[in-house]
């Protein structure tokens, strides 16, 4: 199944991802753990705002190719 979502949600899920990543990094977690937490948090938000199942929402977030290293730009 292709995991796509309404483009109007993109900014919100990206913001959620980066906020979650920042919190995890501030708590002393590694980039990998922060990334996993960011994906999970953003997927939970996307699933709650759409008709997507959590696993489909998670795949859609992963497809955005977000990384903790992109946080420095924000």
**pLDDT 10s digits, 8-63:** 889 999 999 999 999 999 999 999 999 999 999 999 999 999 889 999 999 999 99
Residue 16 included in any domain:
no
Range of the domain at 45: 31-66
Residue 23 included in any domain:
no
> How many distinct structural domains can be found in the chain?
1
User: Structure pTM?
Assistant: 0.88
Instruction: Name residue, tokens 């991802």.
Output: 17
Cβ neighbors of 16 (< 8 A, separation 6 or more) are 38, 41, 42, 45
Residue 38 included in any domain:
yes
Q: What are the tokens at 50? A: 């759409």
Q: Is-contact 64 73, C-beta < 8 A?
A: no
69: exposed, middle or buried (C-beta count within 10 Å: 0-12, 13-18, 19+)?
exposed
């Amino acid at each position: 199944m292709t995991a796509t979502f309404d483009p109007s949600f993109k900014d919100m899920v990206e913001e959620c991802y980066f906020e979650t990543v920042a919190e995890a990094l501030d708590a002393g977690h590694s980039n990998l753990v922060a990334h996993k937490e960011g994906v999970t948090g953003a997927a939970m938000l996307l699933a709650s705002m759409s008709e997507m199942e959590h696993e489909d929402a998670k795949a859609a977030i992963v497809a955005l190719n977000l990384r903790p290293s992109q946080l420095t730009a924000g």
